[in-house]
Structure 1
Amino acid sequence: MSKHNVYKMSVASVYPLLVAKAEKKGRTKSEVDEIIRWLTGYSQEELEAQLKKQTDYENFFAEAPKLNPSRALIKGVICGVRVEDIEEPIMREIRYLDKLIDELAKGKAMDKILRK
């Protein structure tokens, strides 16, 4: 089975788009970073190092210090697909991130986004 092209995209190439989406709706880069740190367990320094290193999505999630167990609570549709129905682990992690950034851009409170 061939891998999706998105797996080899660097997180750093997508990161500015995530930030721009949030900022366009009045949210901040620090909120985007908080979401990524919550999801992956990276510290801010580790996140910045991954971005600087141009780490691809596959390795970004494979090397994540501690994927948040509460991420399984993320439900809903992103890009026409229910995130809870995605079977491929890396694709599911990518879509979790997409879904959280969508929630941020839609004005949802951080406590709800971070499933507190």
Structure 2
Amino acid sequence: MHKVDAFDVEAVRTTYEAALAYDGPSVVIVEGPCFFVGPGASGTYEVDLDTCIACGTCRRLGCPAIKLSREVNPKTGRSKTEIDPVLCVGCDMCAQVCPTDAIHPVESAG
């Protein structure tokens, strides 16, 4: 039996791979707060459209806060991504999977 943090994308992936490769029964417990409860302590996230390459990796997470931007990657013609701050709960999973580090926490005006 293995326990893993639901918001550690890499740990979840490697734990699932190990469980699938194990020749016998395997249990993976993924622990973490429900993202439908509300924003986390870390605040919300945003996409740096200058860094986003419109690969769609973050959108494949299925997060309701992640949506298509009106801005398009001129090389591929694909829509970039933006994050709806009202729906974002600050889990940071999108930032973990972004290959160009285009997703980061919104800086508070302080």
TM-score (norm 1): 0.30
Q: Which one has a larger percent strand, Structure 1 or Structure 2?
A: 2
- Tell me which structure has the larger Cα radius of gyration: 2
TM-score (norm 2): 0.31
Q: Which one has a larger percent helix, Structure 1 or Structure 2?
A: 1
